[in-house]
Structure 1
Amino acid sequence: MIIVDLADLVSGIRIVELTAKTRQGAIRALVQAANWDDDGINPENVLEAIEEREAAAQTLVANDFALPHAFIDWDGDFRIVLGRSKTRVDYGGPAGVNVQLIVLLVIGRRLQQTHVEVLAALAELLKSPDFRQNLIDAKDIKAIDLLLMTQAGIQPENRPVRGPSIPRLTVNMVKTAIQLTESLAAQALLLAVERVENVPWEALANYKGRLLLVTSQHSEEFDHKREDLHIFDVAHASLSRADRANLGLLLAASSGLLTEKNSVVCVTGPDGRRLDSINVTKPEVHFRAMLSEKNRRGADVVRPAVMLRVLTLAIEIAAEGREAHPIGALFVIGDSRQVLRHSQQLVLNPFHGYARQLRNVLDPSLAETMKEFALIDGAFIIQGDGTVLSAGTYLTPKSASGSVAHGLGARHQTAAAISAHTQAMAITVSQSTGTVTVFRNGSSVLSLERSGRTKW
């Protein structure tokens, strides 16, 4: 029999935020967060073992808490990942229970006979409904970590320093990318990660060049003192590897951090926690078309921050859809006076009559409203400063002049045409594919594909 020390157990727990709505999706996210590739373990084998266990025994502990667990052929002892969902996960079962805490326990075969002690320790840690509610209500992952440490009797000043485990593959890829950046005299190294905590900082200790981080989750308390470090928080988890790099290049170029003359070394992966791909590229000419001074002159200037905010909103719509269904969308930004001359309002404008400060896309609180109104057929008309003029607007350019790929429908034809007849930028979301396309001067200048469509 082994005696499980609660402090040792808590110090080894990995914590993640869950966005999945179903049990299968949540468990898959927890398995991925455990970084099994580093141990030569196929994550699919771990998932299979968990599903077998789920079929044999109920892992629902309480109405808000589930404890799925399984045994695998592994030289380690046990691995624990705690997932917190702010929106609830449908855990299935006859009662259709929705949980907010899921703790995944995976145990090596050598501890199979003593796994009861580990389960008992976890049950002891999380037995209090009030404590579980505190975990559910916690502000962020660090707050959850502190609550667990306090519950285990560890004083804050004595708590071990623990960051997420960095896969060896990620470390090796970043080291190789640094060598490549230096040998090519590249202007920057770009990493597309989930959070700044997923960056192998030790591997970057001796790198003195420009470092660009594109993160999909904001880290409020990050305080890494490093010169020439630039962090961009934007939803990129749903994009393909290549387009994560493209989006990062666009973000950096819009901030004046890149030129078109020198290369950039980009490191990406299938998710933001593991990096496995290196790409050497130059900021493309189409970025100049999106950000050039020529297009910025005029009565209705498109601010880069507005363009990037609408692009982010389009990516989120492509990834999330609405009410579990994919939807399309069309945003037209800038040169609004000319755009309105080529449009007509066939439904009541839901933005009419509201103060300008209440309908600016730079206000994060407007995002959900925009996503809801994306269900209305027609386009959003947005001024260059971010003020939304209308939704559900039908565009009627004189002709469909503009260049679009074969097979694209009326939404893309209209976007190309309106950008050809005016100085506006048009951004479309394809309902069928989830591809986000940017049109300017009648042509597509950027296309971002959803990762589910990419085969590697």
Structure 2
Amino acid sequence: MTPTALNKATTILLALACEAASRLGAMGVLILPEGPMNWEAIAALGDGNRIMIAESSERHLKAITEAGMIAIEVDEATESAITERITLALIEAVANDQLTAGARVVVAYSGFEAETLDSITVVRLGEHLEQLSSRDLRALETSVPFETLKAVVDVAVEIGREGREGKTVGTLIVVGDVRNVLSRTRALGFDPFKGYKRKERNLRDPRVREAIKEIAQMDGGFIVGRDGTVESACRIIDAPNSGLTLPKGLGTRHWAAAAITNVTNALAVVVSQSTGTVRLFQKGEVILRIAPMQHARAMKWQDAETEPGPGRLDKTS
């Protein structure tokens, strides 16, 4: 496939992104291209900034590296909203030591017109991520494979941002250590996933993701295995929450997530019904928070110690 030449608009936008990165002291510019581009021309526009390109093609990843830029390997682009793509690219970069927690990043992407870089946003990796280093992210893979965790976070962010039928939706997804988790939960009643074959219950299947978004409107949480298979739905957590401390403003789902991760090796992802914010729990604590933004704007990862009130959304800086 012939690389797309940089037109005048794209050249101007990338120059502005590099200028913004220099002015803000950002750690670099992250580009999410819609297809192959003239990597050498992009590198020449860097003006001393670190240029990072999120790509899925092995051939283009190699070409990006050879052009002197940082290649971030991501899954092949899907119909996912740009917010999810940006988030997962940033997670991948932190996990691979290509970005450090607490940094600012200027992101260039196609926000309005397909196959054209026409939008810039500034993302701040929240201060709490200074405690969540790439080593910590890799450690999460010992209990839950990183690809499964990304799939869970992806669907959780979609639920938080989109809701269902015009209404906000909250949910709880517990991942890993299935046997211990099931022993500390109980069925609420009907399990929509019961009776289906394992291959028909995997989160990587778009149909399963859509089913989860529908079922999330029901009470109870989801139990997901290490391989991304949904083991059960509509489960109530019975784990004790004594001795746990959470930031003010968090509800019963968050306490349940803290409780189950405190007594098992599972991770838990909670979508707040009031704000759509996604929180990742491990060992009874919030270790990551992703606040969704609407209209194809990027998310801001923030310090989990200060929780916004129910009527306020976090804003990008």
Whether these two folds match at TM > 0.5 is yes
In structure 1, distance between residues paired with 2:136 and 2:216: 23
In the alignment, structure 1 residue 357 sits paired with structure 2 residue 194: no
Cα deviation for residue 329 of structure 1 reads 1.1
Aligned counterpart, 1:375: 217
SS at match of 1:302: coil
In the alignment, structure 1 residue 454 sits paired with structure 2 residue 314: yes
In structure 1, distance between residues paired with 2:35 and 2:190: 44
Cα deviation for residue 268 of structure 1 reads 3.2
Cα deviation for residue 454 of structure 1 reads 3.4
Please state which structure has a larger fraction of its residues in helix.
Answer: 1
In the alignment, structure 1 residue 387 sits paired with structure 2 residue 233: no
In structure 1, distance between residues paired with 2:134 and 2:62: 32
Cα deviation for residue 176 of structure 1 reads 5.8
Aligned counterpart, 1:250: 91
Aligned counterpart, 1:212: 52
In structure 1, distance between residues paired with 2:179 and 2:260: 12
SS at match of 1:432: coil
Cα deviation for residue 403 of structure 1 reads 3.3
> Structure 1 363/270 Cα, relative in aligned 2: closer, same or farther at 3 Å?
closer
Aligned counterpart, 1:403: 245
In the alignment, structure 1 residue 191 sits paired with structure 2 residue 30: yes
Structure 1 segment 155-174 matched on structure 2, within 5 A:
165-166=9-10, 168-174=12-18
Unaligned runs of 5+ in 1: 1-159
Aligned counterpart, 2:145: 303
Kindly indicate whether the alpha-carbon contact (under 8 Å) linking 2:176 and 2:225 is maintained by their aligned counterparts in 1. Answer: yes
Alignment length (residue pairs): 281
Cα deviation for residue 249 of structure 1 reads 3.2
Q: Could you tell me the percent identity over the aligned residues? A: 28
Structure 1 segment 98-137 matched on structure 2, within 5 A:
none
SS at match of 2:10: coil
Cα deviation for residue 405 of structure 1 reads 1.5
Cα deviation for residue 229 of structure 1 reads 2.0
Aligned counterpart, 2:105: 266
Which of 64, 68, 75 is residue 226 of structure 1 equivalent to? 64
In the alignment, structure 1 residue 277 sits paired with structure 2 residue 129: no
Cα deviation for residue 427 of structure 1 reads 0.4
Larger radius of gyration: 1
> Structure 1 199/323 Cα, relative in aligned 2: closer, same or farther at 3 Å?
farther
Aligned counterpart, 2:115: none
AA in 1 matched with 2:93: A
Structure 1 segment 416-427 matched on structure 2, within 5 A:
416-427=258-269
**Superposed CA offset, 1:381-436 (max 9, x none):** 00111111011111110235433220111011111111111111100111110101
Q: Which has the higher contact order (CA 8 A, sep 6+)?
A: 2
AA in 2 matched with 1:396: D
Unaligned runs of 5+ in 2: 112-117, 295-312
**TM-score (normalizing by structure 1):** 0.52
> Structure 1 431/281 Cα, relative in aligned 2: closer, same or farther at 3 Å?
closer
Aligned counterpart, 2:299: none
In structure 1, distance between residues paired with 2:124 and 2:184: 41
Cα deviation for residue 230 of structure 1 reads 2.1
**Superposed CA offset, 1:207-250 (max 9, x none):** 599753459xx99xx899322422535856458xxx95x65432
Kindly indicate whether the alpha-carbon contact (under 8 Å) linking 1:330 and 1:411 is maintained by their aligned counterparts in 2. Answer: yes
AA in 1 matched with 2:268: A
Structure 1 segment 309-348 matched on structure 2, within 5 A:
309-348=151-190
In structure 2, distance between residues paired with 1:164 and 1:353: 56
Cα deviation for residue 308 of structure 1 reads 0.3
In structure 1, distance between residues paired with 2:40 and 2:126: 23
**TM-score (normalizing by structure 2):** 0.71
Over aligned residue pairs, what C-alpha RMSD do you find?
A: 4.1
In the alignment, structure 1 residue 202 sits paired with structure 2 residue 202: no
